[in-house]
Amino acid sequence: MSVTEILFTPLLKADPGRPLITHYDDAAGSRIELSRATVKNWAAKTANWLRDEHDVEPGDPVAVLLPAHWQTVGVLLGAWWCGAHVVGAGESAKVAVVPPGGTADADVVAVASLHPMGAGSGAPVDYNDDVRVHGDDFMPWEPVPGSTPALGESTVDEVVTRARELGAKMGSEPRVMSTVDWGTPSRLLEGFLAVLAAGGSLVQVTNPDAGLMAARRDTEKVTLQLD
């Protein structure tokens, strides 16, 4: 099974209405919260878009060159769901998803707007607009082997094992507030996948305002903070 099926699907089945990610951008003054069910819809649309529109197969490299953001969650889980190998900056890819103004060495470069409400960017290949026409459910054509490359140099099995090791240190169902960037595999494991493995939810803060963080810990009922 894929990283998404192993780490995310159990959370969806247990309580689809529970928040998965609450994203703050203190520079923009925005707060967006997505439930597990809503994230599943974005991830399924992404997986269908990658597979059906861009012929991504298990093991194919997909570059996710986005900051820690609620849109990035859908891109990552969708990429893993169809078995893609998530790679970073400087690596060639079949498809790359970049922020506005971003570039990549890829056959297809799609722009994710990072708009608080998910509006499109107007780019020639626009991730937000393109995925909307795809289905809210994804059915893999065949199981993704555990030996499939999944993140950096790690396979599906290795990513899941490491996420579970890190998640075990967080306690059960933590409410995690984080300013950790996801720019490397280790940070992505610590700041996102470990939270899934622990059955928790994430409060991700971009451009954090130090004056707001203490009060936010109370209002969001945070049990663990990552910096």
Q: What's the pLDDT score for residue 175?
A: 98
pLDDT, average across residues 26-41? 96
pLDDT, average across residues 216-222? 96
Q: What's the pLDDT score for residue 106?
A: 98
pLDDT, average across residues 24-32? 95
Position 199 confidence tier, pLDDT thresholds 50, 70, 90? very high
Q: What is the pLDDT of residues 153-168, one digit of tens each?
A: 999 999 999 999 999 9
pLDDT, average across residues 123-149? 96
Q: What's the pLDDT score for residue 117?
A: 82
Residue 118 has pLDDT above 90, yes or no: no
Which is it for the CA torsion 128, 152, 92, 84, positive or negative?
Answer: negative
Q: State how far Cα 55 lies from the chain centre.
A: 20
pLDDT, average across residues 79-84? 98
Give the count of domains, the chain.
1
CATH number at residue 12: 3.40.50.12780
Closest CA to 45 of 75, 70, 66: 75
Residue 173 has pLDDT above 90, yes or no: yes
Residue 83 has pLDDT above 90, yes or no: yes
Position 120 confidence tier, pLDDT thresholds 50, 70, 90? confident
Which is it for the CA torsion 131, 124, 83, 159, positive or negative?
Answer: negative
Position 119 confidence tier, pLDDT thresholds 50, 70, 90? confident
For 80, the domain range is: 3-225
> Where in 36-173 does DSSP place strands (E)?
61-64, 85-87, 93-98, 106-111, 149-151, 154-155
Q: Does residue 152 or residue 119 have the better pLDDT?
A: 152
Closest CA to 103 of 92, 116, 118, 115: 92
Q: What's the pLDDT score for residue 121?
A: 86
Closest CA to 5 of 156, 147, 195: 156
Q: What is the pLDDT of residues 130-141, one digit of tens each?
A: 999 999 999 999
The percentage of residues in the chain with a pLDDT greater than 70, rounded to a whole number, is 100
Does the pTM exceed 0.85? yes
Residue 116 has pLDDT above 90, yes or no: no
Q: What is the mean pLDDT of the chain?
A: 96
